[in-house]
Amino acid sequence: MSPYAEVWKFTRERLAPAYQDLSPRQLCWRPHASAMTIGEMLYHVAGAEHWFGKRLQGEDPYSTEMDARIDKSVRAQFINEDPFPFSEEDMTVEQIDAALRHTENLVRPLLEDPSHEALTRMVETPLGPTVEGVGGLWRIAQHAAYHTGQIWAYRQRPDFPA
């Protein structure tokens, strides 16, 4: 297994326990008006995987309506002021799991055995700078860990819904 896949697998395994027991109310909770919800963070994680996965493989990131929504979730509200592409009705563990499985199926082969072309392809990051594919793979690999920590911090707040 490649080092990218090892790190990604480790971070993804820790992400699931952070949210899988949450209710839709908890997935939609905001600690303050400008904060993202846990559900939005999870779609954002899927969006980042989708963003890099599609671009590093030279695929159309908007080939289906779902692909377009997932891809947009990496930037919406985090990086730009676009409306978030998933509504409160989409904030269920089942639907979030489906989005994360979709991007897992997209990036797992890329992370496990990246081609020379993927490693060297130049790709724009969601934040704007362009990086070589190897930088994109490292971003995919570690990204879920960052948001897993945020989710646990939300859950420990005294005002988090029971």
pLDDT, tens digit, 9 for 90 and up, residues 109-137: 999 999 999 999 999 999 999 999 999 99
pTM: predicted TM-score of the whole model, two decimal places: 0.96
> Which residues neighbour 81 within 8 Å (Cβ) at sequence distance 6 or greater?
none
**Residue 84, SS3?**
coil
pLDDT given for residue 77 in this prediction: 87
Give me the pLDDT at residue 78, please: 82
Q: Environment class of residue 159 by beta-carbon count within 10 Å: exposed (0-12), middle (13-18) or buried (19+)?
A: exposed
Rounded CA-CA distance 21/29 in Å is 14
- What average pLDDT does the chain have? 97
- Least Cα distance to 32 among 162, 145, 157 occurs for 157
The topology under which CATH files domain 3-155 is Four Helix Bundle (Hemerythrin (Met), subunit A) (1.20.120)
Each residue's pLDDT tens digit, 28-46: 999 999 999 999 999 999 9
DSSP bridge pairs for 130: 124
The pLDDT, as a whole number, for residue 125 is: 96
Per-residue pLDDT, 1: 86
Residue type for position 62: Y
CB 48 within 8 A of CB 54: no
Question: How far apart are alpha carbons 151 and 27 in whole angstroms?
Answer: 10
pLDDT, position 3:
96
Residue numbers of the chain with a pLDDT score lower than 70 = none
